[in-house]
Amino acid sequence: MRIVLGSDHAGYPLKAAIIEHLEAKQIEVLDVGAKSADKAESYVNFGEKTAQVVARGEADFGIVICGTGIGISIAANKVKGIRCALCTNEFMSALSRKHNDANMLALGARVVAPHFAKAIVDAFLDARFEGERHAVRVGEICALED
**Each residue's pLDDT tens digit, 47-102:** 999 999 999 999 999 999 999 999 999 999 999 999 999 999 999 999 999 999 99
Cβ-Cβ contacts under 8 Å for 24 (sequence gap 6 or more): none
99 is catalytic: yes
DSSP state of 140: H
pTM: 0.96
- Using one digit for the tens of pLDDT, what is the confidence trace for 37-61? 998 899 999 999 999 999 999 999 9
Percent of the residues in the chain that have a pLDDT greater than 70, as a whole number:
100
Which of 99, 115, 134, 142 is catalytic? The answer is 99
66 is catalytic: yes
For residues 115-121, give the mean pLDDT: 98
Strands 2-7 and 61-66, how do they pair? parallel
Which of 66, 87, 134, 142 is catalytic? The answer is 66
Alpha carbons 8 and 129: distance in angstroms, whole number: 29
Look at the domain 2-143 and name its fold: Ribose 5-phosphate Isomerase B; Chain: A, (3.40.1400)
Domain boundaries, the chain: 2-143
